Amino acid sequence: MARKPSDYQSDIWNDWCPGCGDFGIVAAMYRAFSELDLPPEKTVIVSGIGCSGKTPHFVKVNGVHTLHGRAIPFATGIKLANPELTVIVNGGDGDLLGIGVGHFVALGRRNIDLTIILHNNTVYGLTKGQASPTLRRGLRPKALPKPNIQDAVNPVSLALASGFTFVARGYSMMTEHLKELIKEAIQHKGAALIDVLQPCVTYDNIHTVEYYKKRVYKLEDTGWNPKVEKIEEKEEKIVKAWMKSQEYDDKIPIGVFYQDPHTPSFEERIKERIPSYLETPPARQKIEREGKTIIDSEAFRKIFSYYIVETE
Amino acid sequence: MLNRLSIIIGGPQGAGLETSAQILTYSLAYLRYGVISDREYFSNIKGRHSYVHFNISSEQIPTSLTYPVQLIAALDHETVFTHFDSLEEGGVITYDVFTEEKTLDTTPSMEEDLKIRLRKIFKELGIDGSIKSLVRYISEDKKIHSVPLNYSEIINEAAKKLVLPASQAARYVSSIIIGAVSGLTNVKKKAIEYSLARRFYDRPELAQQNKVIVETVYDKVVREHGPILELAPSKLNHREMMIVSGNDIVAMAKTVGGVRFQSYYPITPAADESFTIESYEKLEVDGLEIGSILVLQTEDEIAAITSAIGAALTGARASTSTSGPGFSLMVEGLGWAGMNEAPVVITYYQRGGPSTGLPTRGSQSDLLFTLYASHGEFPRIVLASGDHLEAFYDAIEAFNLAERYQTPVIHLLDKFLANSIVTLPVPDLSNINIDRGLIIHNGGADYKRFNLSTTISPRAFIGSNCIMWYTGDEHNELGHIDEDPENREKMYRKRMEKIKIADEEIPEEKRLTYYGPEDADVLLVGWGFVKGVALDALKTLAVKGIRTAYLHIRMFSPFPSKSVEKLLERFDKSKVITVEHNYLAQAGKAILINTGVRITKEVVKYTGRPIYLNELVDGVLKILKGEDRVVLTYGP
């Protein structure tokens, strides 16, 4: 019997502010997980710090609530050690694009089969509303003493530049649409980003539900084809997607910007070198025999013969 | 004939000195000599002065380095300038006659400080400062035997013989060193030939070309000078010898110990370990794969430790290797592992700090840092290895301890060990156990990762049949955030008490070793790379009538407090001396913290060069004459 969305709901009382955009993200995840019928014990949500960092506690799958900015490398270790797991990172804009942006870029370079759900609300909520890396210059959400004088990073543009092979944007108030994006991202074999616009009802009086309602439109409604059908199209498609990502003022596109199913995932690259990798990844290897090492003296001499000199 | 020989071979970085050292070591090992060698180099790829300092013995496997040396083989003039003073009276120097006119002014790669010191010396000696004047001076005044060789002539001759362009033959200039050293010490040609074939197994033409140069020089040296420093035939009777650096032996140990995920960010002097593991990523015996290791080069050390922790949560034995600057970045991750009872191993090769410090030189200045790194309180295990063999067993034990006590383990090593190459019998693997600790494979629906009914909770792997939560926040038994004061007290105590259990379970005799006579008068206390030189110092001091013992500390957390306290009680306080490669005498501080016993005598060195036997003996003698602290500085 397929799992229902409520089967993924944990018993923990959700302490996000009433009306927080994050509720939409979690609701979309419950539904996406249910429709994909993800086994909870083979699914892992990894998060960093901040409001989004609490996400794993609200979901009844494995949860790893890590350090500020470090969700991606924790997830990298989990996924590479056991690639049969479905690993989903939930992180804020400050977390993934401020303190942790190096890991974000590195993930693109590797194209590991991870799904990154970016809770993008332009502020650091849990520390009371400071400017996040996605807040544009000149804006002053209500907690800021002065307008922001740093430029914003565009998550979609950066993901494209870094090598992510699935790049999408969702809106937390459109959970049906977001749910579909999450499903697609999870099913995509490679690094997937979903930049989720998520109003912070407490500290962001600019990017409100009203604000997004006026601007957001679906890419798929315009006949947008994100998919690199043949590898030869990659350059053209990525340039188009990047151009599209720059559209961010009067109109904000949501949906899948770009999808490249051709670039090999990191797991496939490892398999090239270690053919047994997917069958016996690091987490599933036996490393002892009745408490003894599997490399005995004879095996040791054979493996490390390069270092052993037989004397005269 | 000599039973013991110290040699320095020197030249610019990138000129093939490492290969020369490797060939010589293979050859010596093939002839069953015991060898230890230390490589000293700048943070530089090409051009700055580097040297390898050997200690060779026909009677034992030497454990320390010492001065003066009997032979200097110089690839360039900077080597002559830098090391001439280290030669024993009656020793030998080989150098390139082409450099005879060189002076300090024509040695731009040399640091100004040394030039200033040398100019002063040359002035006092009344020499003009050319290589020629210097060699003449040491030949006459210190009875040094000089063996001048014409490097370009040798290369040109070899080029002719090999029908190679001279420019290509010049790439084998380091083989001149091999020829000179082996000729002068009477290391058989057969051994050199064996070693070249081994080194260039995949490119036999290189072995052949180098062999021609080696033999040309070998014959010339023997013809013109004779084997002045002939080594006595070895009395050792090993049928096989391993030749390994500290990095190599730790890589091998991790492989044996079952590491399946190793992450790293490039840093000296740790990175070679990860490269070695990666070379063996597919563990194959007779064509059958018996395992594989994933080595991941990360974007920084933060990702290195956090990805290793992630891998550990899924059940893979996971580790990362680094040095001081990298560990500084790992500290927050270390705390997360402590909070979440995650078994991760950090192999930590200390180098000179603070900051970038002396990036290619040795140090033991991070002991206190590793004992207390990261905010908050959590248990950790800190091991420190004194030599290659200890490093081998400790690197395996580190994983056992990490899993048994579900806590991060820091395995402390240093640059001295990382880069020193030794001959070593193949370690005995029969007594090695793999202890994975308390693991539960069917946690089921009610599984609680931090179950409070036992101090060490059964650990299920992510990906087994249950779900679990981890968080850096204080948490309840399920792993959910929990700030309740009663839960906080229980969970906090559960974590901290694990170190008490470790302290009870790990025999103290495994955490320290006492060497020397039971009724010794003097006690040296040390850790890490000090072990080798301290053990040799015991023998030298015994010959001088000073009964000395050495207390070697191998585990600093949990600290073997009872044994250390009891041992120290037996000695006159004025005769207990800590010997360390740092300024503060940090092990002494750790002893004070753990036992309340203050050691007031210290011999320390923080120049980045290893403690040499000669200076340690002198240092101990000074302490016994009443000094409280001796700072050692020998070695260029």
Q: Convert chain A into a string of H (helix), E (strand) and C (coil).
A: CCCCHHHHECCCCCCCCCCCCHHHHHHHHHHHHHHHCCCHHHEEEEECCCCHHHHHHHECCEEEECCCCCHHHHHHHHHHHCCCCEEEEEEEHHHHHHHCHHHHHHHHHHCCCCEEEEEECCEECCCCCEECCCCCCCCCCCCCCCCCCCCCCCHHHHHHHHCCCEEEEEECCCHHHHHHHHHHHHHCCCCEEEEEECCCCCCCCCCCHHHHHHHEEEHHHHCCCCECCCHHHHHHHHHHHHHHHCCCCCCEEEEEEEECCCCCCHHHHHHHHCCCCCCCCHHHCCCEECCEECCCHHHHHHHCHHHEEECC
Please count the CA atoms within 13 angstroms of the CA of B342 that sit on its side-chain side: 36
Mention every residue, 6+ apart, whose C-beta is less than 8 A from residue A257: A156, A160, A167, A168, A169, A219, A224, A226, A241, A244, A245
Token output for A119? 């809770």
What is the percent of chain B with per-residue pLDDT over 70, rounded to a whole number?
100
A74 → closest Cβ in B307, B464, B465: B307
Residues of A in contact with B441 (CB under 8 A): none
Rounded distance between C-alpha atoms, residue A198 and residue A123, angstroms:
10
Alpha-carbon Rg for chain B, nearest whole angstrom, is 26
For residue B558, whether the previous peptide bond is cis, meaning omega lies within 30 degrees of 0, is yes
- B contact test, residue of A15, A70, A107 with most B CBs within 10 A: A70
A312 contacts B32? CB cut-off 8 A: yes
Rounded distance between C-alpha atoms, residue B126 and residue A31, angstroms:
89
Within B118-173, strands assigned E span 145-149
Domain covering B513-632 in this structure, CATH number: 3.40.50.920
Residue A211 belongs to some domain of the structure: yes
Check if the beta carbon of residue A34 is closer than 8 Å to that of residue A5. yes
Q: Which of B201, B223, B229 is nearest to B145 (CA)?
A: B229
B residues 456..485 contacting A (CB < 8 A):
461-473, 479-481
B91 three-class SS: strand
Degrees to nearest 5, angle at CA B125 with B119 and B127:
70
Residue A39 belongs to some domain of the structure: yes
Domains held by chain A: number:
1
Rounded distance between C-alpha atoms, residue A12 and residue A57, angstroms:
7
**Mean per-residue pLDDT of chain A:** 97
Residues of A in contact with B470 (CB under 8 A): 63-66
A84 → closest Cβ in B302, B336, B463: B463
C-alpha pair distances (Å), B347 with each of B383, B392, B418: 10, 12, 11
B285 contacts A303? CB cut-off 8 A: yes
A274 contacts B281? CB cut-off 8 A: yes
B381-420 as b/e: b if 16+ CB within 10 A:
bbbbbbbbbbbbbbbbbbbbbbbbbbbbbbbbbbbbbbbb
Q: Name the residue ranges covered by the structural domains of chain B.
A: 4-224, 243-424, 438-506, 513-632
Residue A276 belongs to some domain of the structure: no
Segments forming the whole domain that contains residue A119: 5-269
Residue A205 belongs to some domain of the structure: yes
Cβ-in-10-Å burial (0-12, 13-18, 19+) of A305 comes to exposed
Backbone angles phi, psi at A136, to 5 degrees: -80, 155
> With left for phi above 0 and alpha for psi between -120 and 50, is residue B346 left, alpha or beta?
beta
A73 contacts B307? CB cut-off 8 A: yes
For residue A39, whether the previous peptide bond is cis, meaning omega lies within 30 degrees of 0, is no
CATH number where A262 lies: 3.40.50.970
Residue A294 belongs to some domain of the structure: no
Residues of B in contact with A78 (CB under 8 A): 310-311, 313-314, 462
Token output for B467? 């779900």
B30 contacts A312? CB cut-off 8 A: yes
pTM summary value: 0.98
CATH superfamily of B4-224: Pyruvate-ferredoxin oxidoreductase, PFOR, domain III (3.40.920.10)
Residues of A in contact with B257 (CB under 8 A): 287, 293
pLDDT score for B362:
97
pLDDT score for A110:
98
pLDDT score for B363:
97
Mention every residue, 6+ apart, whose C-beta is less than 8 A from residue B249: B242, B388, B389, B391, B392, B395, B424
Backbone angles phi, psi at B528, to 5 degrees: 60, -145
Class at the top of the CATH hierarchy for domain B243-424: alpha beta
Cβ-in-10-Å burial (0-12, 13-18, 19+) of B243 comes to buried
Whether the CB of A64 is below 8 Å from some CB of chain B: the reply is yes
* DSSP β-ladder status, B421-424 and A166-171: unpaired
Q: Give the closest-approach CA distance of A274 to chain B in angstroms.
A: 7
Rounded distance between C-alpha atoms, residue A106 and residue A233, angstroms:
24
B164 three-class SS: coil
Residues of B in contact with A67 (CB under 8 A): 306, 332-333, 336, 472
A252 pairs with which residues across the strands?
A216
Residues of A in contact with B302 (CB under 8 A): 69-70, 73, 103
Residues of A in contact with B235 (CB under 8 A): none
Whether the CB of B238 is below 8 Å from some CB of chain A: the reply is yes
Q: Give the closest-approach CA distance of B465 to chain A in angstroms.
A: 6
Rounded distance between C-alpha atoms, residue A86 and residue A39, angstroms:
9
Residue A286 belongs to some domain of the structure: no
pLDDT score for A2:
87
Please write the tens of the pLDDT for every residue from A237-285: 999 999 999 999 899 999 999 999 999 999 999 999 999 999 999 999 9
pLDDT score for B170:
85
A277 → closest Cβ in B252, B292, B481: B292
Whether the CB of A279 is below 8 Å from some CB of chain B: the reply is no
Degrees to nearest 5, angle at CA B170 with B168 and B171:
70
- Residues in chain B where the model's pLDDT stays below 70: none
Whether the CB of A9 is below 8 Å from some CB of chain B: the reply is no
B428 contacts A41? CB cut-off 8 A: no
ipTM for the predicted complex comes to: 0.98
B241 contacts A309? CB cut-off 8 A: yes
Q: Which of B583, B572, B582 is nearest to B623 (CA)?
A: B572
Domains B4-224 and B243-424 share a fold: no
Please write the tens of the pLDDT for every residue from A58-67: 999 999 999 9
pLDDT exceeds 70 at position A1: no
B294 → closest Cβ in A72, A78, A270: A270
Q: Give the closest-approach CA distance of B221 to chain A in angstroms.
A: 24
Q: Give the closest-approach CA distance of B411 to chain A in angstroms.
A: 20
